[in-house]
Amino acid sequence: MNIFSTIVNVFSIKELRDKLLFTLGMLAVYRIGFWIPLPGVNQGVLAEYFERAAAEGNAAGRAAQFVSIFSGGAFGQSTVFGLGIMPYISAAIIFQILGSVLEPLKKLREEGPTGQQKIQEWTRYSTVALCIVQAIGWLIFITSQRMVYATWAHNPIWWVMSVSALTAGTVFLMWLGEQIDRFGIGNGVSLIITAGILTRMPHAIGWVIENFDPGNPQQLGWLQLLMLLGGFVLVVAGSVVITVAQRRIPVQQAKHTRGRRVYGGQRSYLPLKVNHGGVMPIIFASSLMIFPNVILGGLHDQASSARTASPDSWIASDWWYGLTQWLSNSIQVGEFPYVVIYILMVFFFSYFWITVQFNPEEMSKQLRDHGSFIPGLRPGPRTAEYLETVMERVTFVGAAFLAIIAVLPMVVNKSMNIDFSVTQFLGGTGLLIVVNVALDFLQRIEANLLMRNYAGFLGGQDDGRGPRLRG
């Protein structure tokens, strides 16, 4: 009954109720735009192409599945929201990485809200530029595959209109996310991505129901169904634990005397997140793993064509043809070499991300400036070295969990022959995004409720002021 009373409390507070309804309304607007197609595109041929590519597991299918995470599936249907929020995320990541490398951007970030506002403005302009480039590339692809009616494909007005529509769709989603940040509750861009991911869950449930037949050994039985449900619960629980897991480093505040009174001396903790990179290592690894599939597949196709056109050339030789075939088959999704390379890339990008985002020297300097220190360590280089060592160790644990989450969907897909639309909810980028956004959303509601002396959704320690989320 506690959760029902909490829901009643949420809707009994006018300010919180208005924020929730506004957020739901904006997400409804986003889903309406999902069904508005670009004119001139043969939607049936487009959908059939990507279904075939996904079933074959080739690079085009991988790229479509990856991009559809951020577009809610609109990419495969070529709607006005076809590019999704991906260009904005790409621009934000670029500026986030450059902000740790370029000195002018570093200084701009240190200026506080004014500098952040300037960087945000540049991010918006970069988003528009990326939208134009990606829209042109996407239109060239679908016209080359004859997915556009011939009368439209050769019309310059259609090209201008389509590029403008795709760019305007992404800019509108960017604006929609900012409105949710301002007038709603939660991170607007993250909620838009999450809404797109969750809309594919009914399709996954429908596939399970359709293929459930205990009497047919070729279909799902009770054992496979229980394994799917149990795996989903365990993975979600593990994702929640690793998302909120922290390594707490004790910090002691120095005592100082003013007159007859002694200030400071309190003991607190410096929390270091176990999964500091969040979902970024999986996103980077997934993006780069598309290229070996494309390159090796192209080399194999070239060798196959040469065996017919010019059998005397070295490209058509048996050793080259066999090598390209073996490499192309080995790098397919779910194969052992692919999984090993994927895991190594997740570890690499986990450490790369903390190298870019985590600055132990700056953190040590801030502790010293605030009159705090880690017991047993001298402020300065020794503290920075200790923080870097601890972060490297906890990152190894976080990267190992991310690697398991990343490869679990493809392993289940390959071993149990279950559709990827179902296995993607057992791990991967989409699941981590949903878990992170759901926790952030609940914590924001929790903060609003506790601020008004209401009990929140989340359990945890009760210190007399209501339940708190425990790290």
pLDDT for 92 equals: 84
> Per residue in 276-299, pLDDT tens?
878 778 878 877 777 777 787 778
CA angle 162, 164, 169 (to 5 degrees): 95
Q: Domain-by-domain residue ranges, the chain?
A: 13-199, 225-460
Residue type, 6: T
Give pLDDT < 50 ranges for the chain. 1, 460-471
How many residues are present in the chain?
471
CA distances from 359 to 81, 139, 364, 455 (A): 37, 42, 9, 37
Q: Which of 441, 445, 453, 468 is nearest to 11 (CA)?
A: 445
Task: Name the CATH topology of 13-199.
Answer: Preprotein translocase SecY subunit (1.10.3370)
> Per residue in 429-461, pLDDT tens?
778 888 888 888 888 888 877 776 666 655 544
pLDDT for 129 equals: 92
Report d(CA 160, CA 212) in Å as an integer. Answer: 47
Q: Which CATH number does the domain 225-460 belong to among 1.10.4030.10, 3.40.50.1100, 3.40.50.12780, 1.10.3370.10?
A: 1.10.3370.10
Are 134 and 83 a contacting pair, CB within 8 Å?
A: yes
Interacting residues of 144 by C-beta distance below 8 A, sequence separation 6+: none
pLDDT for 322 equals: 82
- The string over 147-166, giving b where at least 16 C-beta atoms fall within 10 Å of a residue's C-beta and e elsewhere, is bbeeebbeeeebbeebbebb
pLDDT for 332 equals: 76
> Distance between the two ends of the chain, CA-based, in angstroms?
25
Bridge-based pairing of strands 246-253 and 256-258 is unpaired
CA distances from 139 to 126, 149, 171, 252 (A): 20, 12, 18, 59
Report d(CA 329, CA 327) in Å as an integer. Answer: 5
Report d(CA 55, CA 374) in Å as an integer. Answer: 54
Report d(CA 253, CA 372) in Å as an integer. Answer: 4
Count Cβ atoms below 10 Å from residue 125 Cβ, excluding itself: 10
By the 10 Å C-beta count (0-12 exposed, 13-18 middle, 19+ buried), 246 is classed as middle
Structure tokens, 124: 């918006």
Are 75 and 85 a contacting pair, CB within 8 Å?
A: no
Report d(CA 195, CA 187) in Å as an integer. Answer: 12
